[in-house]
Structure 1
């Protein structure tokens, strides 16, 4: 590939509607400018190359039919080829001249298809459409070394009055411009339809839209989710200041899932999608929703680059997104001191009572990212909570170091994080911020040997070491510091894959699930969100099963009789709200 002027992608999106006016598809026209390619060059690829559909990191994406006829340049249709029939890479059989255009219609399906290529990942929701660019756009071969300008434009002329088009970087239909790496549009959220929002109207162009935060959804939200739709807007200015990104923007997109239980958040560029289902979400407590939304917001900032061997530094994002979900809602005046105490206890309990607490981090990472991730109860939570405890201890240790030096730095770790993220945000396209940079920041306060030892013991340790908090007994003061208690180990008592296969298997004899009457072979009709039991020590797990044509409600406490040492902040006790 050879470059001409600075590369850019101009994306024009035209929704298609059905007889009811609901949006059922999206015509995409991507124009690449400032690039030239030679015969044999890779032009673009679709989806995640080499990742099987049963892998946890795979995502549905749209591969247009007759893909070989979808590209043109200044002279007309391009001659392209695929490496082999099953390849999702597009290569050129000629040199290009002028602008390169890729254009096709993306169909949106309501149900699963046997042919995964027919899935777009775009989601229909109450007459509208929402999804990430990776679901329907290819990864154009622009190269990491080039900063790319992206222009997004909506054509809403064929839609009902009141239709809005919004993406992670702004609201149309007028063109929205941003810049970043060549894959910036893959991590962009697109939403079109009759959209509700908070604030109700977008800011006027030229009035500081770059520092704007908004929440977007279709139809009516469950009352408890509606009650916190202003949370992102309220906390965003302080959070952007915290990460030294005062000119940044953020958009939270709420999307109703077709099937529950569902309450998840996925972070993208400057944005996140929160998926919920009406049946289960309506019973979630305010603090649980705040934790979900706050963690997604922090994740949009708290990222460093992969290592040179391709290994991701998930521990950085997991640990900080959870740590700042403990701190920032309270620190920035959005929730009470009780929120802080209960949330830190929630996360500590999730770490110490997880059956996988002694598994090496590398093994947890392999489990969480494997094709069997959905068949495992505990790996994802164990991996994230270990990173949280590591970050919590680094925060305490660096504060102590600052105190011992009589340095006027209240929160040294905040300074380390800010410096890394600013460097990554404003550095060159080929300048990486990696683990070594984090360790260098910690080493400034703790010394290189201690910085490396803590990381090795917590993240790289292959001996399954449990990180105790004896050395932090007085970190909050004796009254509010963490103290050792005993709590029951988490134990659901049957195979996790049962929820996906809709039939119970792997019942553990003697478990509380077994005692409650759950049997192998029961058909699962309904079940509660299991993730809430990982963080709430008192939460019961509920299922409705069908046996011999009779529906049976099963309720039990998903904990074993084995008690383990767990650290908690004991001052006071949280009583969930009754409404």
Structure 2
């Protein structure tokens, strides 16, 4: 790889170079070999040369060991050790045992994170294998310069030993590079790296897919406050706000989508039993409390809705046919953030001052958990007014840790979960997304394993638990039922349809593969209309299932 001059150029900031070499196994990209070079950092002995964020939310970063990081400067090997000076900060300091001389270069390897079904849900910043490649947020595996100043970040890739179809990407351009970006040390932490058989799709995204919060997060963020609060109300609230309105404004979604998403967010805010929770406390409980997790999203979005209403009334700008004052503020803050400027809540309030005067008291009340009064809030148009609706406070009825541990715990007696029959100690096999229940969905679905469940029990239409599991593609549950000697795998319901017929109709190839191998399954069974499983699969163009049924039991073919 061509060597770059590691210096402090007269016309720009000092260079922080990151050279990445992907390594491969039979499954594709398997790890990364990293070389980081800082131009003349002038770090004195026992001071921090680099900082590394050891966790992001509830996601642990890559576990480095001092002996696996090699460092050199102009005087030769440079001893480095790790330490933490603040218990309340995730940052680990990489300090030097002697003063540096000239440029400093570090060498180390990183491997993707190992996860399984019990790994708690969290921000997807970790390195993971994906379709023969690797993808990761920079903060998960790259230390950053300790000197809080503008650097010229230069990223380049060595693909000389990579498969021919390998491509390498950084948020700011495609490699192998070099690609440069000026900014503060968090520039790399807040970016994404990918390498592998990456495909490009130049066509616009399907109009059926709404803009996600992640699209907004990539545009405009806010730095944490000096007391450590991460300003999640802005980061996540802004993402929620614009993911509701932009698809409608751009003509990608209709009015029903706008109303449904907005009502869902308002319900999630108003129905939460933590509506009065201090937002700093919600940050501490974010990954352990059902309701605290949604506070920055929903409270932040509702606050922005309230501010947008005030700004529109003050400016007289209504509708979606032009930029609103809130749009102008967010765009300007986004540009400043992209340039590497530090932005905090005081900057937000400064933007509001020319329109609304001092809004600091209302802002502090929002953070503390004072319920927001929305009776005079309008939504974009002068005649789009919110209406009050009394609804039940949401209570899940079990600890959030139940989902991660896959064991029901903390069951609240008298709750709907308890009334539905859940018991502490139940093994959870499958769950729906609990967050959907905040936004209008009336229930959370949990499938638990119990020996006393009768697989052959029928509903009013003659369908068994076993039949329902096959139709929904729950292979693990189907296997559990099939392990029992008493399961009636080929029983028909009132319509004459078997479990195989429903699996074939729904296109559940994995379940069909389990069923057709059994001797007690008649693939030629007909329903009350004379249709066979093969007919259902063919009618719905499930080619793989047609092949499975046709090839597995030829003796049944006519």
TM surpasses 0.5: yes
Equivalent-residue separation in structure 2 for 1:297 and 1:388 (angstroms): 16
Is the aligned partner of 1:441 residue 2:357? no
Cα 1:477–1:138 shift into 2, 3 Å: closer
**Per-residue deviation at 1:153?**
1.3
2:388 — aligned with what?
484
Separation in structure 2 between the aligned mates of residue 21 and residue 159 of structure 1, nearest angstrom: 13
* Structure 2 residue 234 is matched with structure 1 residue 330: no
Q: Which residue of 2 is the match for residue 93 of structure 1?
A: 97
Whichever of the two has the greater Rg, that structure is: 2
Structure 1 equivalent of residue 80 of structure 2: 80
Q: What secondary structure is seen at the aligned counterpart in 1 of 2:376?
A: helix
C-alpha distance in 1, partners of 2:71/2:172? 26
8 A Cα contact 1:475 1:481, kept in partner:
no
Q: Which runs of 5+ in 2 are unaligned?
A: 1-6, 117-124, 456-464, 469-539, 541-558
Residue pairs, 1:399-548, within 5 angstroms: 399-403=312-316, 411-426=324-339, 432-448=342-358, 451-459=359-367, 461=368, 464-472=369-377, 476=381, 478=383, 480-535=384-439, 537-548=440-451
Q: In the superposition, relative to structure 1, how do residues 391 and 109 fare at CA in structure 2: closer, same or farther (>3 Å)?
A: closer
2:217 to 288, 295, 299: 299
Say yes or no: does 1:13 pair with 2:4. no
SS at 1:162 equivalent:
coil
Long gaps (5+) in structure 1 = 113-119, 201-228, 235-285, 556-578
Are 2:34 and 1:28 equivalent residues in the alignment?
A: yes
In 2, distance between residues paired with 1:63 and 1:126?
A: 26
Task: Check 1:470–1:184 CA distance in 2 against 1; reply closer, same or farther (3 A cut).
Answer: closer
1:526-554 Cα distance to aligned partner (Å, 9 max, x none): 1111111211x234321111123759889
| Residues 46 and 63 in structure 1, CA contact (< 8 A), matched pair in contact too | no
Summarize deviations over 1:120-176 as a string: whole Å, max 9, x none.
9421123211112222222232x22x2111111111222222111112111112322
Alpha-carbon distance in structure 2 between the residues aligned to 1:83 and 1:357 = 38
| Residue pair 2:397, 2:412 contacting (<8 A) in 1 also | yes
Q: Deviations over 1:339-394 (max 9, x none)?
A: 222211111111111121132333323322xxxx23x1111213321121111011
Deviation at 1:400, TM superposition (A): 0.9
CA-CA distance at 1:423 after TM superposition: 4.0
In the alignment, structure 1 residue 177 sits paired with structure 2 residue 180: yes
Q: In structure 2, what is the equivalent of residue 282 of structure 1?
A: none
C-alpha contact 1:11 1:152 (8 A) present in aligned 2? yes
> Cα RMSD over matched residues?
3.3
RCO comparison, higher one (Cα < 8 Å, 6+): 1
Query: In the alignment, what sits opposite 1:213?
Result: none
Matched residue of 1:35: which SS? coil
Residue-by-residue CA offset, 1:99-124 (whole Å, 9 max, x unaligned) = 21111222345458xxxxxxx94211
Deviation at 1:472, TM superposition (A): 2.7
The answer to whether the Cα contact below 8 Å between 2:31 and 2:110 also exists between their aligned partners in 1 is: yes
Normalised by the length of structure 2, the TM-score is 0.70
Give the drift of 1:314: 2.3
Structure 1 101/549 Cα, relative in aligned 2: closer, same or farther at 3 Å?
farther
Question: 2 CA distance for matches of 1:28 and 1:81?
Answer: 18
**Corresponding residue SS for 1:14:** strand
Q: Name the structure with the higher strand share.
A: 1
**Equivalent runs, 1:311-390 vs 2, <5 Å:** 311-368=229-286, 373-374=287-288, 376-390=289-303
Give CA deviations for 1:192-225 in whole Å, capped at 9, x if unaligned: 111223228xxxxxxxxxxxxxxxxxxxxxxxxx
1:426-472 superposed Cα distances (whole Å, 9 cap, x missing partner): 4xx6x643322322322322232xx234323322x4xx532232223
Distance 1:63 1:544, change over 3 A: same
Contact 2:15 2:38 in 1 (8 A): yes
Residues 1:326 and 1:107: Cα distance change in structure 2 (over 3 Å) = closer
Report deviation, 1:473: 6.4
1 CA distance for matches of 2:228 and 2:29? 39
Number of residue pairs matched?
435
Shift of 1:404: 10
Q: Is the 8 A contact 2:37 2:106 kept in 1?
A: yes
